[in-house]
Structure 1
Amino acid sequence: MKLTFISDTHSLHDRMPPLGSGDVLVHCGDFTGRGDLNDTQDFARFMAVQDFTHKIVIAGNHDWCFENELRDEAEACLRDHGLIYLNDSGVEIDGMKFWGSPVQPEFCDWAFNRKRGEDIRYHWDKIPNGIDVLITHGPARGILDRCENGYPAGCDDLLDVVQRIKPRILACGHIHEAYGVLEVDGTIFINACILDERYRVRNPPVEVEL
C-alpha cells in the first residue's frame, strides 16, 4: 500500500507540485487559512481530483469550522467529495487500520486545543490497540516537535499512547519547522508540513510503502 502524507497547506494547496498517485492520501490538518467554509469547499474540490483510491482528512487548529456551529456542514462537505473525515475515529482500508484525531495541547487560542493532562488524555484514551496508522495534528513530545525557538511543543500523553499501541506510523503536522521523518522503536514518525515556518510552500509530500 502506497501512502502519501501532507499537512498544513493553509489554503495554498494549489501551489503544491503534483502529488502523483497512490492508494491513500492523508492530510494531517490545517488545510484552511482562516478556518471558514469557503476554504473548506475549495480544499475538498482539490482533494477530490487527486489520483488516490482513498483520501483521509483530519482537522487542525486553524480549521475552526470543524469545531464551531458550522461543523456539520463542514464535515458533510468533505464526505460529499468522497473524503474520509476522522475525528477521534477510525477506518479500515484493505486490512490497514487508521485512526485520526485533531486535538493538540494548548497552543495559543486555536481550535481543538486541549489542556495537557486529563483533558487531552480523554481523547488519546479512545485510541484502540491494533492501529497501523495513527494520524494526529500535533506531534508526540520530543519527536519532530521543536519550534523555531527550540521549544518541544509535542504531547507527552500522545507519546505514552504510541509506546503502548505501537502503530507502524504516527503522522502529524502543526509544527512547520519540524518537518521530517524519523523511525523510533519500530514506529515511523512523520511531520508532513508542506509550508515552512514562514508559510511558504517548501516541503515535499512524504511517501511511505507499507
Structure 2
Amino acid sequence: MSLDELSNRRGRSVWEEFYASSALFLSQVCISDTHNVHGSLPPLPSGDILLRVGDLTQSGTPEEVNAVLDWMSVQPHPNKIFIAGNHDRCLQDPLYQSAIKSNYPNLICLQESSVLLIINGRNIKVYGSPMTSIYGSWAFQYPRVSASQVSSSTIWSSVPPDTDILITHGPPAHHPDCTSGCNALLGLLWKLRPKLHVFGRIHATRGVPTATWTAGQSAYETISARRKGWRDLCIVGAQFVRALVWQSTSPATVLVNAC
C-alpha cells in the first residue's frame, strides 16, 4: 500500500468495529414487545443468538407466556435468551420461573442475572434484567431516578463490570426513549460501555443508534435533559464535524431498541 493510499484509506465504521471485536464475533437477532402477536411475525433471520427483551404478552398470564415460549423454543438459534417485561406478570412468580427451566431447557431466562456463553470459541457474558422505571401498576418496576440521584442509586449495582451484552426491558435516558428512559441506566452505560445494549418498551422509537462515550455525546444528553444550552450545542456540532473528518477511536456501544 502506498503512502497516499494509507493516508486516505477509510476507517472502519462503528458496525465494522463491532463485528471485528475480539469480545463479540457473532450475529444477534433482537426482538421485543410482540404482545402475543409472535405467531404473525415473518420468519426470523438466522443467527448465533436470539435475544427477546420483554413484553412477550399483553396480560402476562401463564397461558400467554407458554404460547410465546413454545414458539421461541422451536426457533433455530443455538442460543435463545429472554427477559420479562412489565406486561409479563406471571414471570414474577418464582415457582413459574422454576417450571420454565424444566419445561423449556433450551431457553435461558435472565432476571437480574448473567449467563456465560461460548460462541465461535469466545466467551460472551450476557446480563439481563426486566426492571423498568415505574409507569402505572405493571410488573418489574422501580421508582424513577432523577439525574441528581444517579450517583446514589443502587438499582443497577449488581451488573457485572465485564458484561459484553446488556439486555433490559427499558431504555436508558435520552437514547430511543421518548423522554421515558432511565437516568440510572444511562449512568451504568457510561461506566460499563458494553459492546451491545438491547432494550424495548418504547414502541415509537425502535432503531439502532450508537453511543460513542465522547464529550459530544455528553453534551447531547445534557441538551436532551434541557439542563444547558448554546455551549453544549456547540460541543455537539464540533463533535459531529470531527466524526466526519476523523474516524472516532472511542469505544462505542451499539444500542438496539428492538420493538
Q: Where does residue 113 of structure 2 map in the other structure?
A: 89
Alpha-carbon displacement from aligned partner over 1:117-136 (angstroms, at most 9, x marks no partner): 37994331100111110000
Q: 1:34 to 1:78 in 2, by over 3 A?
A: farther
Task: Note if 1:178 corresponds to 2:205.
Answer: yes
- In the superposition, the TM-score normalised over structure 1's length comes to 0.84
Q: Which amino acid aligns with 1:28?
A: V
The Cα of 1:77 is off from its aligned counterpart by 2.3
The Cα of 1:116 is off from its aligned counterpart by 2.0
Q: 1:17 to 1:135 in 2, by over 3 A?
A: same
In the alignment, the residues of structure 2 paired with residue 78 and residue 7 of structure 1 have an alpha-carbon distance, to the nearest angstrom, of 21
The Cα of 1:71 is off from its aligned counterpart by 3.7
**Larger Rg over CA atoms:** 2
Q: 1:111 aligns with which of 139, 145, 166?
A: 139
Q: 2:126 aligns with which of 95, 98, 101?
A: 98
Q: Where does residue 258 of structure 2 map in the other structure?
A: 192
Q: Where does residue 160 of structure 1 map in the other structure?
A: 187
Q: Secondary structure at the match of 1:124?
A: coil
Could you tell me whether the CA contact under 8 Å between 2:155 and 2:184 is conserved in 1? no
Could you tell me whether the CA contact under 8 Å between 1:24 and 1:55 is conserved in 2? yes
Task: Flag the structure with higher strand content.
Answer: 1
Q: Where does residue 135 of structure 1 map in the other structure?
A: 167
Q: How does 1:1-210 map to 2 (within 5 A)?
A: 1-67=26-92, 70-77=93-100, 80-81=103-104, 82-94=106-118, 95-117=123-145, 121-146=153-178, 152-185=179-212, 186-193=252-259
Could you tell me whether the CA contact under 8 Å between 1:13 and 1:43 is conserved in 2? yes
In the alignment, the residues of structure 2 paired with residue 183 and residue 108 of structure 1 have an alpha-carbon distance, to the nearest angstrom, of 30
In the alignment, the residues of structure 2 paired with residue 168 and residue 79 of structure 1 have an alpha-carbon distance, to the nearest angstrom, of 31
Q: 1:6 to 1:129 in 2, by over 3 A?
A: same
Could you tell me whether the CA contact under 8 Å between 1:20 and 1:51 is conserved in 2? no
In the alignment, the residues of structure 2 paired with residue 71 and residue 61 of structure 1 have an alpha-carbon distance, to the nearest angstrom, of 16
Q: Secondary structure at the match of 1:90?
A: strand
Q: Which amino acid aligns with 2:131?
A: V
Q: 109-118 or 153-162, which moves further after superposition?
A: 109-118
The Cα of 1:75 is off from its aligned counterpart by 4.8
Q: How many matched pairs?
A: 186
Gaps of 5+ in 2: 1-25, 213-251
Q: Which amino acid aligns with 1:91?
A: V
Task: Flag the structure with higher helix content.
Answer: 2
Identity of aligned residues (%): 36
Q: 1:62 to 1:78 in 2, by over 3 A?
A: farther
